Amino acid sequence: MIAVRNLTMRLSAGGHSVTILDDVTVEVPEKQMVAITGPSGSGKSTLLGLIAGLDKPTAGSIRLDGVEITALPENQMARYRRQKIGYIFQSFHLIPTLTALENVAVPLELNGDDHARAGAAELLAEVGLHDRQFHYPVQLSGGEQQRVAVARAFACRPPILLADEPTGNLDSAAGRQVIDLILSLHRDHGSTLVLVTHDPALATYAERIITLRDGRIASDVPATAGPRGAASGPRSPGEQP
């Protein structure tokens, strides 16, 4: 489903070239959930943004569902992203002048769905926000805003879901609700899920953990703890193991 080959990303800073990602190669099969971890500055969010086609790498290739996205012009990449990729940001990125219902309906409307608002209402009900659909982002709590963002990411039933620190701006209770929601939708819709997080407890929700350090893959191992492997049951995001 996701094939990253020899990916390198360099940026210019102060007249010098700074390497953000250095010859990264990784594959994620269909329907797998992978967590990408590592310290700040290790390249986690950069890698996720490149997989989403939000930027172009300095070198290397990215294939999503058989399509080489690094070769796509921006207009084709935007259309492909709407159809194939759901992206959840840490800071929600909801449109402040639109209601929850309208925010979720946007990707459906862009895809030409004649029943966009009805579909958005169904998704908001699925994430437990049926009674909040006509509220604006400023009228919602952080956890509610992120649930709207999750519903928007799943609106077009994308085969690939990318989440960048989805619980980073939430308290532990709201974070637990959001990650449970993402996992439930991931299972129900059979999406391939790549989750960026600095939280080791949250990473154990995945089937596999990739650790980045200084722009390189330091380790790529199966998750051996947490809800998929521990008899003690799931921990809340941020809870110490």
**Interval 95-132: pLDDT, tens:** 999 999 999 999 999 988 999 999 999 999 989 999 99
Report in angstroms the alpha-carbon separations of 14 from 11, 17, 18, 22.
10, 8, 9, 20
Q: For the chain, what percent of residues have pLDDT higher than 70?
A: 93
pLDDT at res. 227: 52
Mean pLDDT of the residues in the chain: 88
pLDDT over 50 (residue 21): yes
What fold characterizes domain 28-56+76-222? Rossmann fold (3.40.50)
Q: Which residues pair with 64 in a beta bridge?
A: 2, 67
8 Å CB contact between 164 and 48: yes
Condensed to tens digits (0 to 9), the pLDDT of residues 32-75 reads 999 999 998 899 999 999 999 999 999 999 999 889 999 899 99
> Nearest to residue 151, comparing CAs of 120, 180, 130?
120
Strand residues in the chain grouped as ranges (E): 2-13, 16-28, 33-37, 59-64, 67-68, 85-88, 160-164, 192-196, 208-213, 216-222
pLDDT at res. 236: 42
8 Å CB contact between 87 and 150: no
pLDDT over 70 (residue 30): yes
Cα separation, 104 vs 79, whole angstroms: 17
